[in-house]
Every structure is written in C-alpha cells, then in structure tokens.
Amino acid sequence: MMLRFDPIRLPPECETLRREVRAFLAEEIAAGTFDPHRPGHGDSHNREFSRRVGARGWIGMTWPKRYGGHERSHLERYVVTEEFRVANAPVRLHFVADRQSGPILLKYAPEHIKLDILPRICRGELCFVIGMSEPGSGSDLFAAKTKATKVDGGWRINGTKTWTSNAHIADYMLGLFRTSPPTKENRRHGLTQFLVDMKSPGITVNPIIQMTGQHDFNEVVFEDVFVPDDHVLGEVDGAWKQATSELAYERSGPERFLETFYVLVELIRALGTDPDRRSAEGLGRLVAQLHTLRRMSVSVAGMLQAGKEPVVEGSIVKDLGTLWEQKLPHRVREIAAFLAPEAANRTSLEEQLAFAITVAPKLTIQGGTTEILRGIIARGLGLR
C-alpha cells in the first residue's frame, strides 16, 4: 500500500474559531470552572460546562443541522478538540458522544431516535459510554458473551461489561451484545450493536478505582434489561461489518498524543529562557516529534473531511501518538534531572510528572492496544 500524508493546512475559518475557543476557555478558567495546570485534580466532567460548550455549537460540529449539528468541517472540529485537550478542560461528559457515539447513531439509528437523541448530545446534555470489554474479552471483542435474547417488542440483555469508563455518569451506552453464536466460517458473526438507556431497570453500575486513585472505570451488570427493537443499530448479528469505519475518527485525533502534553509546557517553564545544551537538545527532539504527530493527525483529519476512510493512517497516528505521550513524562523527568533546585515551578512540575507517569500505562491500552493497532497496520501492509 501507498502511505500518504498530505500537508493539510487549517483554513482561515479555523483560526477565527481557535480565537473564540481560547477566549471561551480563558473565561471558564477565570471563573474557576477548572484549573488547566492541575490535571487529575477536580472533576474531569462537568454537566454545566458541557452545556455551555454545547451552547457555543462545539459539540456535534460536523453533523447535519437537522439533528442539532452545525455542518462544520472536521478541521474545525479538530481545532476545538485540540484547544480543549491542551487546556485540560473537563470534556469527559460529552466527548465520547461527540467523537464516536453520535457518528454511529447518525449512520445506523432509526430517524425518530436520531431526532430525539442527537440534538441533546449537541446541547451537551448526554453522556455516552462504550460497552465493549467484558471480564472474559477485551481486545478480542468478538469473544463477547453478554447476551441479548429476542422477546416480544425487543430484547433482554444479561451479562457483564467491564472497564466501562464513565458508566457512573452515563445516560446511554452503545453496547455490543451477542444475539447469535459465532459460525464456523465467521467467528465475528452473531454480535449486534444496541443503544441502551442507562436508566433501564436491571442495570447495576459498580465502581472500579484505577491505580491513579481516580474513578473512571466501572463494571456494568445487566439483569434482564429490556431494550426495545428500535434501539438495534444496524444489522442484527452483523456488528462486525460496522466496526471499522469509525476507527479512524476514534484513533487519529489530537487526544491521542496530547494527553500528557502539560508536562512539556511545564518543563519549558522550568528550563527558563537559556537552557544548557543537553536540555535544549532533549527539548528540541520532543518538539520535533510532537510537531510531526500533529502534522500527521491533521492530515488524517483532512482525509476524513474528504470523505476517505484512512483506517491504516489513523491507526499509525494512534500507535505513534500514544507511545509518545506515554514516554513523554519519562523523557521530561530525565531532562529535568539537573534542574536547579530553586527553579520556580519545580513543585508543580514534580506534581504533574507524578500524575502523568501514573496515567501513562493506560494510554497504549485504551481505544485499541498497541498490539491490536499494529495488527491493523500489518493487515493494511498486506501481511495478513
């Protein structure tokens, strides 16, 4: 295959938008909504904040106006995403719905559901979660066992999903459930994608505390949970056909290399205006690597805007990007090793490093592990 990453430049309307977003974030920071310099402190979700973001028209930006969207470009959405990420803004409530649940609903949900739910996502009112992993299946998502059994007017779900981020604050789940056994010819057959109202009777959400001390993961137990027929998304038993095209959206965005970005900014602050040569060289390499990742990621956004499905390119961005953001706090720590003890922001750098280093292991696991991504890339290269 030919790899192609054209040098896409953001058009002028993106820079106007960027100024608006920065002004909005500055106001929110000034009002005390969140502290951009203390990631990991305070809530990463905030219902009122998400509503204000929605009111500005920055959720569902690329979706049709008919569903509450704004018919803006993927490049404009890109600018909003990266500015929010860099500011450590609390977007957790609406981000999954904006990035991937909404696009799936747009493609597969019946019209009346789209008209009901999508405008509420755009207003920042709804939190979506992804119901894929189970106690017995993670990366191997086609091994899912949680069952949906056909009943009059709908389906009954029984089983357990796990590592479900945000389930404790979620309004809806897009879940993958087993509607038929796999066949001999196709082990991916038999799973169906459903929209599940998290307030449905029979759902229990149990918290799982992460090693950072944060609560993000949950176990979600389904006991005879009823889901109506019109909540089936796409083809019954055929979810595997629907899974691939969304991946590029999920995998190539700025959130796939900017998660620990704050430590780099803090390092620059600590080094001051005249760093020694060793520090300058270490910093320069990180800058070159970051610039490269961003140019790749913007290029993929350009391909999405052009209606392409850059699955391999998107996977490459996430593979390189997540490894980079995972290694970043460790590289910053090495560069900062010989900092003067009296460097002004030493304490905040150390605090941020402690948090980033603790978060780092998850970055190459969530949303498709390094190993899975490389399998996808290898397939694209014609190796499997």
Q: Which residues bind another protein (CB under 8 A)?
A: 3-9, 18, 82-83, 86, 261, 264-266, 268-269, 271-275, 277, 279-285, 287-296, 299, 312-313, 316, 319-320, 371, 373-375, 377-378, 380-384
Residue 354 C-beta: closest distance to another protein, Å: 19
**Where would I find the beta strands (DSSP E) of the chain?**
128-131, 147-151, 154-161, 172-178, 191-197, 203-209, 215-228, 232-233
Q: Give min distance, CB of 272 to another protein, in A.
A: 7
The length of the chain in residues reads 384
How many Å apart are CA 248 and CA 316, to the nearest integer? Answer: 10
In the complex with another protein, the residue whose CB is nearer, 112 or 277, is 277
Q: Which amino acid is at 61?
A: M
Rounded to a whole number of angstroms, the minimum distance from the CB of residue 6 to another protein is 6
Distance (Å, rounded) from C-alpha 248 to C-alpha 100? 10
The CB-side HSE value for 290 (13 A sphere, CA atoms) comes to 21
| Least distance in angstroms from the C-beta of 77 to another protein | 15
User: 250 and 99 in contact (C-beta within 8 Å)?
Assistant: yes
Least Å distance between CB 275 and another protein? 5
**CB of residue 204 vs another protein: minimum separation in angstroms?**
38
The residue (of 198 and 372) whose beta carbon lies closer to another protein is 372
Give least dist CB 382 to another protein, A. 6
List beta partners, residue 174.
130, 195
Question: What burial class does residue 154 get, using C-beta atoms within 10 Å of its C-beta: 0-12 exposed, 13-18 middle, 19+ buried?
Answer: middle
State the number of CA atoms in the 13 A half-sphere of 160 facing the CB: 11
The C-alpha atoms of residue 158 and residue 222 are separated, in whole angstroms, by 5
Cβ distance to another protein smaller for residue 47 or 327: 327
Token pair 């603790």: residue: 358
DSSP H helices, 255-310, are 262-271, 277-305
- Indicate the residue among 185 and 274 with the shorter CB distance to another protein: 274
CA distances from 106 to 69, 119, 120 (A): 11, 11, 13
Cβ-based nearer residue to another protein, 132 or 373 = 373
CB burial string 156-191: b at 16+ within 10 A, e below? bbbbbbbbbbbbbbbbbbbbbbbbeebeeeeebbbb
Q: Are 241 and 176 in contact (CB under 8 A)?
A: no
Q: Which CB sits closer to another protein, 220 or 290?
A: 290
d(CA 251, CA 243): 13
**Residue with Cβ nearer another protein (107 or 291):** 291
3-state percent breakdown (helix, strand, coil) of the chain, nearest 5: 50, 15, 35
C-beta of 124: minimal distance to another protein in Å?
A: 24
Q: Which is nearer to another protein, 81 or 193 (CB)?
A: 81
Minimum distance from CB of 131 to another protein (Å)? 28
CB closer to another protein out of 207 and 284:
284
